[in-house]
């Protein structure tokens, strides 16, 4: 079970729908979506909702946690791992001052993590298991 949100269907197309939903408590501090009161979300429409109907949409909690971890924590973990790899390389293989190797290792690791985030985002957009779903029609 995931987070449920109420919204109004704005548009229906190819088994999908655009739903205008009010922001919930998880969105209040983020600020990445435009507008203060509502967001428009593309959702799966297995129940056949029509334009103008009030619906309940549900997003899986696991998907939200996975995406948040990848976007926020992965670059941080990669930077730390890159610094340690740079330290190891400088002290054991090169026997030089490790600072530039640490910086380079951190930067390279973060860039690799950002490339992975971009790959994850593209796959998540096309993966129907990651999309929110209309679970029922209210009116």
- For position 126, what pLDDT does the model report? 79
From 113, 112, 33, select the one nearest 73 (Cα to Cα).
Answer: 113
Residue with tokens 């992975």: 116
Gap between the Cα atoms of 77 and 70, Å rounded: 10
Angle at 49 between CA 59 and CA 38, to 5 degrees: 50
Query: Is 31 in the same domain as 68?
Result: no
pLDDT score for 86: 93
pLDDT of residue 21: 85
Q: What is the CATH number of the domain that holds 43?
A: 2.40.50.140
Tokens standing for 44?
A: 């799966």
Asked if residue 83 and residue 37 are part of one domain, the reply reads no
Tell me: do 133 and 91 sit in the same domain.
Answer: no
For the chain, 139 residues long, the average pLDDT of each consecutive 10-residue run is 82 90 63 64 89 88 83 96 94 85 96 95 81 86
Instruction: Identify the pLDDT of residue 54.
Output: 93
Both 109 and 83 in a single domain? yes
List the domain range (segments joined by +) for residue 85.
Answer: 64-125
Helices (H) and strands (E) in the chain, counts: 3, 5
> What pLDDT does residue 34 have?
54
- Give the per-residue pLDDT at 41: 84
């Amino acid at each position: 079970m995931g987070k449920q949100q109420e919204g109004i269907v704005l548009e229906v197309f190819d088994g999908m729908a655009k739903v205008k939903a009010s922001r919930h408590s998880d969105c209040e501090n983020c600020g990445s979506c435009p507008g203060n009161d509502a967001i428009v979300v593309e959702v799966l429409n297995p129940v056949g909702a029509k334009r103008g109907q009030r619906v309940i949409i549900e997003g899986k909690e696991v998907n939200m946690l996975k995406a948040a971890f990848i976007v926020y924590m992965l670059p941080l973990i990669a930077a730390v791992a890159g610094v340690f790899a740079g330290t190891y390389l400088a002290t054991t293989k090169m026997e030089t001052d490790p600072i530039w190797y640490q910086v380079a290792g951190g930067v390279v690791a973060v860039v690799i993590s950002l490339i992975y985030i971009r790959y994850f985002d593209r796959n998540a957009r096309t993966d129907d298991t990651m999309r929110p779903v209309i679970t029922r029609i209210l009116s």
